[in-house]
A and B are shown apart, each in its own frame.
Chain A
Amino acid sequence: MVEAVAVASGKGGTGKTTATLALGMALAERYDVTVVDADTGMANLLFHAGLADAPVTLHDLLLDDADVAVDDAVYHRFGMDVVPCGTSLDAFREADPTRLRDVVAELARDTDVLLLDSPAALGSVSAVLPVVLADRVVVVLQPTVPALSDGLKVQEYARSYGTDGAGVLFNKVHDGDSVERIADRTERYFDGPVLASVPDADAAREARDAGEPLLAYAPASAAAEAFREAAAGIEIRDEPAEDVAARFRSAVVPEQP
């Protein structure tokens, strides 16, 4: 079985990458998990996962004349398979975003959960593709008006492409933020439940600086606990891996000029 879940937000810095790795580690206790840095224009998952020096990344797989196998860009770290993406702008320019479909299709053959760390913006094919390809989306929100407004936009894009909502995750929540009071209304506008409310925590920043996912760096922190709670709220659906792989392969994605 396999399910692809995009972690998106519509805004940079809300904690998508932090959340992708945290949810990935939590889900890895029950499932085979693969996380992919699908934010190919502003990749940073490699820094969060201690893979800054990874010799082969998703970028290499997206080149038209790719001469590496998908497996070469898969690193087993923190109990998950991690596919980082490089940060070179040249590589981003040369990459063919639509090849992401084939990469995801291949990864889907051999895992239970695929988490796609998605781009912040929605302004290009490469930016929307993770949301288009995924079965479901987790929207990461900070409890602020601009973040909610951008999150709504992502949610609506996802709906337009038939991508279901797995829920929303409030992150960087400060004392005195009104998350409890707004949860009901949030659920009225977003698909799926409010999965958790993750406090703003120095541990998250320190983890990033240490090149480790939060759940490895500070597993006992309140923020890590909240991410585990969120992961517990995501029911992974049972779909035969081959069906999903086939669906990705046949997903309608235009050839790039």
Chain B
Amino acid sequence: MRLPRGDLVRSRTATAPGDALAWALDADHTGYLVLEPADAVLGDGDDACVLTIADGVPRLAYHTGTERGGAPALADVAGAGPYSVDCYAVDRSALADVTDTDELTVSPGAPAERLAADSALAERTRVAAPDEWTAEPASPADPVEAFLADEERLDAIRDRAREEARRKAREWDLTDALVDGDEN
């Protein structure tokens, strides 16, 4: 996601970004929010979720570390607080140039719901959102469906399990029983 440079208008550290999202909504803020887990700020840094906001309502999400967009980008920082939350203001026209692809869009209430567990704020945000944003079939509502649709997450689970199976096989002296036990 390529974003126009914005002006930093608000910067806080918080356990959850609820305040920043509420502030953006109440201020009809247009721009973007950079949400970085505090431990990542101390580390090498490339671990932030960028969330664009138009007239107070979240629209696109992108994670700079995992390079995932949409709901998965939120998932990549969910529960990782405290965060440093920086709000940048951008010209509405400049933001309009950023293309909304399905991979990047989040449903308007999703950030409040997933990152701040604030369903009242999520509802308020949905009400403020343009109709076509809430009408869109966003990611599946059913958590099991959403889970099975998240190919990257499933692949990651499988990769981890495969790696663990091999490591354990070595520990238990079962490598000869592995399909490709000779490789190790």
Binding site for B on A (CB under 8 A): 122, 124-125, 128, 132, 143-145, 148-149, 152-153, 155-157, 159-162, 177-178, 181-182, 185-186, 189, 251-254
Contacts and interface: CB of A to CB of B under 8 A. Distances in A.
Given A157-B161, A157-B165, A178 B144 contact: yes
A160 B161 CA distance: 9
A145 B143 contact: yes
Chain B at the A interface: SS class:
helix
B179 interface: yes
B178 interface: yes
Given A148-B148, A156-B165, A252-B177, 20 more contacts: A125-B172, A128-B168, A128-B172, A144-B144, A145-B143, A145-B147, A148-B147, A153-B157, A153-B164, A156-B161, A157-B161, A160-B162, A160-B165, A161-B177, A161-B179, A182-B144, A186-B148, A252-B174, A254-B172, A254-B174
Chain A at the B interface: SS class:
helix
Interface residues of B, number: 24
A144 B147 CA distance: 9
Nearest to B146: A145
A66 to B, nearest CB: 22
B98 interface: no
A178 B172 contact: no
Contacts, number: 76
A185 B177 contact: no
| Those 7 A-B pairs whose CB atoms lie nearest each other, nearest first | A254-B173, A156-B161, A252-B176, A160-B165, A185-B148, A162-B179, A153-B161
A168 B71 CA distance: 28
